[in-house]
Each structure stands twice: as C-alpha cells, then as structure tokens.
Amino acid sequence: MANLKEVRIRIASVQSTQKITSAMKMVSASKLRRAQTAILKLRPYAQKLNQILSNLCSDHNDNVFAQKRAPERVVLVVITSNKGLCGGFNVNVTKETSNLLKNKYAQQVEKGNVSLICIGKKGYEVFKKTKIPILQYYDTLLDAPNFEKVSEIAEFLMNSFKTKTLDKVEIVYNEFKNAANQLLITENYLPVVTHHHKTSAPKNNIDYIFEPNKAVIFEELIPKILKLQLYKTVLDSLASEHGARMTAMHKATDNAHELIRTLSLAYNKARQAAITNEISEIVSGAEALKA
C-alpha cells in the first residue's frame, strides 16, 4: 500500500502543476492579445517609415546616420524577457548573441570594443557573468513598454554614433509571427542600411519634396523613425514572449494531463493487484482451515 500512497501523492502533485500551467496559459493568452494588437497596428507604419528612411539615406549621402565606418566599436542591443517558462525564447537570443561575440566580432571583443545594452532580466543575468561590458540594463521597461523610455535608448545610440563613440549597432530579438512561431532576428540598426536598386530594374521614381528643407527633415524626421524602429523591436519581442510562454504552458498542460492518465492507470493496476492478492490470501487461509 505504500506504493499506492506514493502514486496518489504524485498524481495530486501533477494535478496541482497542471492547474498552474493552465492558469499561466490563460494569462499569457490574454497578454498576447494586447501585445499582438499593438505590434500588428504599428508594424505597417514602421515598415513604411523604414522604407522612407532607407530611400532618403540612399539618395542623400549627407545623412550622418547612414555613414558607414569600419566597425571598430560595436554595441549589441539584446532583448529578452524578465521571466522564464517560455521555451527557447531567451536561450535563442543569448546563443545568437554569444555567436556574434565569438565569431563576427571576435577581434573587437579582444580589444574590448564591444558593449551590450540588455533589455530584459534574462539576457542581463547571462552576460553579466562575462567580460563584455554592459552599458545599460532595463527590466521594468518590458512591464509597460513606453515610447518615451525607448526613445531615451535610441537617443543614446544615435548620439554615440554621431560623435563616433560607436561605429555599429545591431539588435538581437525575436520577431513575432504568430503564437506558435517566433523568428530570431539580428537586425542592423546603425548605420542605416540603404536600398540598393538593381540596374536591371527601374528605380521607384521617388521624388521627395522637402518642406521646409532637407536639413530640417534629416534633423527631425530621421531620428523619430529610428526611435520608432527600436520601439517596434521591443513590441515584437514582447508579443513573441507571450506567444512562446502560452505555447510552452499549453504543452506543459498537455504533458501533465498525459502523465496523470499514465499514473492513474498504474495506480488502478497496482490497486487491483493488491486486492487480488488479498483475496488470494483469504481463500488460501480458508482452504488451510478446512484441511
């Protein structure tokens, strides 16, 4: 009977876990709806502005944010989550960042010219143990994404690029596709990547009219577009996080259900075997008394 008691305790434990994972799944689903709505509304606007930015920088070479320099000083913006239980969401980002540090920017790392900006506690916990300096760290930003707060990060990066304190900025994050799929992205942020039109294809015949003038447009519009691009990556990552957690909790709930079914079957078999054994002992004892 001790074995039966252990199985009963384990079934109760798994049932308790199943309730927790089911509740977490529903919470993540609710948060996902809000985050998904936010990113899907922002994405077309951000993509169009990004196209305008690329075309402007392609046609006008006097934009400081499009100046290409040898990437001697590099900053990687790593966007993860504050919490776990979301599958490989955080691990994929930290692994990709580690690969960039070991391979693409190995020489810069040796010279101490690579720094990180960590948005999210999980990425910070991984890289604070390394020798890579962390310029900035944000965790509360993900609780309620705020354009003004993200703008501060973007302004810091743009000012550093303008003053040649850094030469290149890349962002590593998960782009939201749907609740079950997230696409790991390493996106170039600075310098701005321009569209290169193929000679065989006609150019898009974009003829911009600058009002009041080109200098003011570059000074006002381009920084706002860059701020919006960074804000979009934060919203993308947040929606991806909730989708990944909802999917992970859904799988955990299903696994708990299957484990409960298996344990219940084992419990019933053990109980039936114990009852059969007791009946056999009673019958054997009765036969012995008759003899």
Amino acid at 155: E
Residue 125, phi-psi category: left (phi > 0), alpha (psi -120 to 50), beta (remainder): alpha
Q: Which distant-in-sequence residues (6+ apart) come within 8 Å of 291 by Cβ?
A: none
Q: How does pLDDT run across 18-45, given as a tens digit for each residue?
A: 999 999 999 999 999 999 999 999 999 9
Q: Residue 248: what pLDDT? A: 94
- Can you tell me the distance from the alpha carbon of 22 to that of 60, in angstroms, rounded to the nearest whole number? 54
Which of residues 281 and 235 earns the better pLDDT score?
235
CA distance 135 to 132: 10
Give the pLDDT score at 290.
75
φ and ψ of 84, to 5 deg? -95, -150
Answer with the residue of higher pLDDT: 278 or 244.
Answer: 244
Q: What is the pLDDT of residues 149-177, one digit of tens each?
A: 999 999 999 999 999 999 999 999 999 99
Task: Give me the amino acid identity at 255.
Answer: N
Q: Are strands 74-79 and 114-119 parallel, antiparallel or unpaired?
A: parallel
Residue 285 lies in a domain: no
User: How many domains is the chain partitioned into structurally?
Assistant: 1
Sign of the C-alpha dihedral, residues 157, 160, 162, 166? negative
Q: Which of 39, 46, 78, 86 is catalytic?
A: 86
- pLDDT score, position 59: 59
**With b meaning 16 or more CB within 10 Å and e meaning fewer, what string describes 149-167?**
ebbebbebbbebbeeeebb
Is 253 part of a structural domain of the chain?
Answer: no
Mean pLDDT check: name the lowest of 199-203, 230-234, 266-270: 199-203
pLDDT, residue 107, reads 94
202 occurs within a structural domain: no
Token duo for residue 140: 């509360």
- pTM metric for this prediction: 0.85
Chain centre distance of CA 142: 11
The per-residue pLDDT of the chain, averaged, comes to 88
Q: What residue numbers bound the domain in which 242 lies?
A: 21-195+207-248
- CATH code, domain with 109: 3.40.1380.10
**From 85-94, 194-203, 238-247, 262-271, the region with the lowest mean pLDDT:** 194-203
118 given a catalytic annotation? no
Two structure tokens written together for 277: 């054994």
pLDDT tens sequence across 44-63: 998 888 887 777 666 556 67
Average pLDDT rounded to a whole number, residues 256-281: 89
The reply to whether 255 falls in a domain is: no
DSSP state of 141: G
Residue 262 lies in a domain: no
Q: What is the mean pLDDT of residues 240-259?
A: 95
Half-sphere exposure for 278 (CA within 13 Å, toward CB): 7
Tokens of 52: 């305008």
Cα separation, 162 vs 224, in Å, equals: 15
